[in-house]
Amino acid sequence: MNYQTLATRQEGEHILLVTLNRPQVLNALNTQMGKDQIDLWTRLTAEPGSTRCVVLTGAGDRAFCAGADLKERDGMTESVWRAQHEIFERAFMALMELPLPVIAAVNGHAFGGGLEMALCCDFIYAARAARMALPEVRLGLMPGGAGTQNLPRAAGERRAKELILSAEPFDAQQGYEWGIVNRVCDNALEEALSTAGKIAANAPLSVRQAKKSIHYGLQMDLATGYRFEIEAYNQLVGTDDRKEGVRAFNEKRKPKFQGK
């Protein structure tokens, strides 16, 4: 897969490393990056192939993503701005709806849409020096990449209001303490790839069903969410991987999952 703004590389058989690749502008999100992400996430949803886990990071060591490219936006008409944002909206939704687990390896600063992109992933590993913020209200805007939805789900309503309404940045350690960041790392990419390897070693259909159950179940009441979980669970009972997992356990060997 060749893209103008993304670099993709297979890490072993089952992990796809995706790098936001505009280091000259701190990997800022422009129209083309939005289009590239829509294509990539849609392709992986339809045909994941051997990919079982994705790691998303940024090129260079300064930034994961500095947010929307404001130079590109300078002088945009309202209609062009709205059309561009529609592309961004579709990219964020495609990432959130991706059945494969996605780990954000936040290697540097993540501001605005960059932090929102990380929050659209399943969880975040961040470099110790990384700083993050949703500063949109300082520009006469507000978060528009699901930031007002994903941040309170991670950090709680009151913390999210404080961070979004003040537009104040926070560091990786604070993000960890507030439940936004899963792990503060000396090397975020290395640790994300290590965890991706552990995920990829598990039954891929089980991983996807479990992710779906968590993602959608949190949008339901407990009883409905549990019924959704059981429906997802029952889809796995007849799979070859379930049979292989039980057989391997009883034979005291490592299972060979095929995603079937």
Q: Which residues are catalytic?
A: 68, 113, 116, 136
For residue 133, what is the enclosing H or E element?
strand 131-133
What are the residues whose beta carbons fall under 8 Å from the beta carbon of 129, sequence distance 6 or more?
A: 108, 172
DSSP string, 52-83: -EEEEEESSSSEEE--B-HHHHTT--HHHHHH
Q: Please state whether beta strands 102-106 and 123-127 pair in parallel, antiparallel, or not at all (unpaired).
A: parallel
Q: Which of 15, 104, 105 is nearest to 52 (CA)?
A: 15
Cα separation, 110 vs 7, in Å, equals 18
Q: Are 67 and 29 in contact (CB under 8 A)?
A: yes
Backbone angles phi, psi at 164, to 5 degrees: -75, -40
Sign of the C-alpha dihedral computed for residues 55, 172, 214 and 254 taken in this order: positive
Number of H helices, E strands in the chain: 11, 10
Cα separation, 13 vs 176, in Å, equals 31
